[in-house]
Structure 1
Amino acid sequence: MSILRSVLQVIDRTGIEPVAWTPPPAPPATGRYAPSRELDGIEQWRLPTGRGPEDVAVDGEGRVITGGDDGRLWRFDNAGAVTELAHTGGRPLGVEVLDDGRFLVCDSERGLLRVDETGRVELLADTALGRPLLACNNSAVGRDGVVYFTDSSSRFTISDHRLDLLEHSGTGRLLRFDPASGDMDLLADGLQFANGVGLSTDESYLVVAETGAYRIRRVELTGSRAGAVSIWAENLPGIPDNVTSQTSGGIFWVALYSPRMRLLDQVAPYPNLRILTANLPAFLQPDPEHRAWVLGIDGAGTVVRSLQGGKGSYSPVTGVREAADHLYLGSLSAGSIARLPRCELGL
């Protein structure tokens, strides 16, 4: 062990054990990734309390459901009027509307929850295959009620997600859970901060974002290749977060937390530098560029839409959902959700 590594371990307050890797060069900001301003000045609806409506879901009546960092689950009607539905007692992230009108919530502190309109919160799972759900993050629900969800890291909680990105040890999991039987199984592990999950329209496969690797993997669910995992979209221009299931128009929407961070990529091959970076004051660590960005990706894994905002636009975008008339956005740290008419985007 080098003298430098010995010194760094003495001063390290984080416990990270970095794995060296070399990210691919970020794609240039030209062509399909050229800067644009579709997401500037979009309408925002504030949360009554708390911040961070990380994900957004839309029910059959066009109402938007989201959760904040104070544990509250909210529902906005079509005019922006808001009602508190429940308090999870934790930190709700991914939200899905179930066929029976209840809500599935990935709570990063409590696990996988089911919530009804009376405010009743039911714990479905807080462990999986002998390990706690340390970072329950996002999900998709099949027509048969089976839940596909991510546990982002076995090393760090969601609040310490930066440490997971700096460590790059790949401990995220994609899990499948059947609420009817209680069966839980592993679909993929070794993922670099497993995040958003989206089902194809025929439910023959799903896609899962690897935030720490700037890519999205595809997992086969049916046929002779069921269980096979492959890279579906890679070297994305930003840091992928939540993913929606495929729309009727064939699009998977992907929220980008921020464009790629040059400093984060520069220190990636050097574990000692990453230990040092993790222990710097927050204002000296790699910082995301605050502007809105979402991608639309077709079934072949090709980016076909890139919607952006300028500096100071609604950000960081961590959730995106297409509904009948609007595209809705959520954010890990903003105080509001946002929306813009689909007609303005040519959808």
Structure 2
Amino acid sequence: MSTKTVILVAAFAIGYLQLLPNETRELSYPYVEFPNAPKYTGVLAPNKVLESAEILFKGQLEGPESIVIEGDTQYVAVINEVVQITKDKIVKRIPVTKTKNCDKNITPACGRPLGLRRLDKTRLIVADGILGLITVDTETSKVEVLLPAETIVEGHPVRYVDDLDLVDKDTVIFSDATWICNSVNTSSCIVPALPTGRIYKFHIPSKSVSLLADNLYFANGVQLHPSKDSVLFTETVRARAYRYYLTGPRQGVKEIFHENLPVHPDNLRASSDGKYIYIAGATARVPEKFDFIQLLFANPTIRWVLHTFVPSTTLDKLASPAEYGIALKLDLNGKIVASYHAPKGPVNRISQLSDDGKTLYICSYENDFLARIPLPK
């Protein structure tokens, strides 16, 4: 390469960097010690539990992320919609924006419902990765924004609202996966492997927001611990789950609930009997297989280059998860007591598991379907 070419490339790079937002230019890419995936032995031994699942609504649900089960009715969060299913039939679709064709090309004008909970008799409360924290009235189809995206809290915007749970009728704990981007370009949010995720507490009547936890590598699933004294949340990129105490002598303490999960986790939910916690595997960490995240953590410069110069469409291909499907069942102290596998699919890229006491429902976000199996013993 000639000297002139080098100078031109350098000038272009410097100019490009100057066009980046200040918050992007000021990011750091720390080296992170990331352990190898745990062996698939004992309770993690491979099985075919998920391979026998019944597939529901294949191709009719675009990116199902979360499910609320109410008797013979389920509500599912999909791209730009909340879908009501009753007795195995789709009976209602409630769009969260009026933008058309969002399932084909998600834009900032679309909505991306992710986490889903029942707020009151007629309304669901929704973590939307583009719009913010919203409610959806399942009777009138009215959508209300409670906390809009880009709201600044302690120096950074709330940008990628990912999941949530209710402490009581007035108080919500929610995750902001990262303040650097939203779910329009999810790979651009994950591949840089940056500690930009946060956990917030939101008071609905006053609209006040407080920061509970910071510096997380893609904050994701949120679940109030059945003891009610604390909240659990997942950190997708670092394959961890945490417990944060809301009350009692340990109030304000954050501790590891489970370190080095065999998955990069998505949502987590309590079982219907309140005795266990399900963790969905967005991506399996298959032992002795190449781990792209491990490579990124060990190479800060690679992360900087990918984040700064590589378009999201290319990052989507780099971040394509393994086909192996796996989900976990933990006790209330964070010990894995069972695992459900699909070594050859089709149930993989799992975003949530929830049960109704008889049946376990599984959201498969990239495969565009729900699945279900009889509740394993």
Same fold, judged at TM 0.5 (above): yes
Which residue in the other structure is 1:321 paired with?
Answer: 354
In structure 1, distance between residues paired with 2:274 and 2:364: 24
Contact residue 136 and residue 152 of structure 1 kept, 8 A: yes
Look up the equivalent residue of 1:298 and give its one-letter code.
D
Q: 2:227 matched to which residue of 1?
A: 202
**Identity of matched residues, %:** 26
Q: Deviations over 1:147-187 (max 9, x none)?
A: 11111101122243333333232111111112133232111
1:10 alignment partner in structure 2? 13
Q: Supply the distance in 1 between the matched residues of 2:292 and 2:194 (Cα, whole angstroms).
A: 19
Show structure 1 runs of 5+ residues with no match.
none
On the 8 A contact 1:201/1:248 being kept in 2, the answer is no
Q: State yes or no: 1:292 paired with 2:343.
A: no
Match of 1:270 among 290, 295, 299: 299
Q: Distance in 2 between matches of 1:146 and 1:284?
A: 38
Does the CA contact (< 8 Å) of 1:201 and 1:246 recur in 2?
Answer: no
Rounded to whole Å, the distance in 1 between the matches of 2:346 and 2:59 is 21
Task: Report SS of the residue matched to 2:270.
Answer: coil
Q: 1:217 Cα deviation (Å)?
A: 0.9
Decide whether aligned partners of structure 1 residues 129 and 282 sit closer, same or farther in structure 2, where only a CA change above 3 A counts: closer
Query: How many Å separate the matches in 2 of 1:155 and 1:222?
Result: 31
Residues 245-256 of structure 1 correspond to what in structure 2 (within 5 A)?
A: 245=270, 247-256=272-281
AA aligned opposite 1:290: E
In structure 2, the residue matched to 1:34 is: 45
Is the 8 Å Cα contact of residues 62 and 368 (structure 2) preserved in structure 1? Answer: yes
Question: Take 2:183 and 2:29, find their aligned partners in 1: how far apart are those partners?
Answer: 18
1:121 to 133, 143, 147: 143
The DSSP-based 3-state class of the residue aligned with 2:233 is strand
Match of 1:57 in 2: 68
Work out the CA distance in 2 between the residues paired with 1:129 and 1:263. 32
CA deviation vs aligned residue, 1:66-89 (integer Å, no higher than 9, x gap): 1222x12101123x1012241111
- Given that 2:188 and 2:315 are in contact with CA atoms closer than 8 Å, whether structure 1 keeps it comes out as no
Q: Does 1:96 align with 2:117?
A: yes
Inter-partner Cα distance in structure 2 for 1:133 and 1:85: 27
Cα 1:128–1:296 shift into 2, 3 Å? farther
Aligned positions, number: 337
Distance 1:328 1:163 in 2: 29
Judge conservation of contact 1:53–1:336 (CA < 8 Å) in 2: yes
How far is 1:100 from its partner? 1.9
Counterpart contact for 1:277–1:285, Cα < 8 Å? no
Distance, in Å, in 2 between the alignment partners of 1:67 and 1:47 is: 15
Q: More displaced, 164-173 or 32-41?
A: 164-173
Q: Is the CA contact (8 Å cut-off) linking 1:214 and 1:235 kept in structure 2?
A: yes
**8 Å CA contact 1:243, 1:253 repeated in 2:** yes
Note if contact 2:222-2:233 (Cα within 8 Å) is conserved in structure 1: yes
Say if 2:187 is the partner of 1:162.
Answer: yes
> Tell me, what secondary structure is at the counterpart of 2:251?
coil
Partners of 1:147 and 1:245 lie apart in 2 by 16
For residues 76 and 310 of structure 1, the distance between their equivalents in structure 2, rounded to whole angstroms, comes to 29
CA distance in 2 between partners of 1:128 and 1:250 (Å): 37
* Cα contact 2:187–2:315 (8 A) shared by 1: no
User: Secondary structure at 2:344's aligned position in 1?
Assistant: coil
Segments of structure 2 that go 5 or more residues without pairing to the other structure are 1-5, 98-110
Distance 1:122-1:267 versus aligned 2 partners, 3 A rule: closer
Tell me, yes or no, if the aligned pair for 1:62 and 1:323 is still in contact at 8 Å: no
User: Is residue 304 of structure 1 aligned with residue 337 of structure 2?
Assistant: yes
The alignment yields a C-alpha RMSD, in angstroms, of: 2.6
Q: Does the 8 Å CA contact 2:75/2:83 hold for their aligned counterparts?
A: yes
For residues 176-195 of structure 1, what are the structure 2 equivalents within 5 Å?
176-195=201-220
SS at match of 2:227: coil
**Matched position secondary structure for 1:338:** strand
Distance change >3 Å, CA 166–CA 154, structure 1 → 2:
same
Contact 2:83 / 2:94 at 8 angstroms: preserved in 1? yes
Query: Residues of 2 paired with 1:128 and 1:269: CA distance?
Result: 31
Aligned partners of 2:270 and 2:354 also within 8 Å: no
Deviation digits for residues 168-210 of structure 1 (CA, Å, limit 9, x no counterpart): 3211111111213323211111111110001112310111101
- Shift in Å at residue 128 of structure 1? 5.3
Partner Cα separation in structure 2 for residue 129 and residue 111 of structure 1: 13
Tell whether the 8 Å contact from 1:62 to 1:324 is kept in structure 2 after alignment.
no
Offset at 1:276?
A: 4.9
Q: Deviations over 1:49-70 (max 9, x none)?
A: 55101111112x231111222x
Name the residue aligned to 1:75.
84
Secondary structure at 1:213 match in 2: coil
Please give the TM-score of this superposition, normalised by the length of structure 1.
0.88
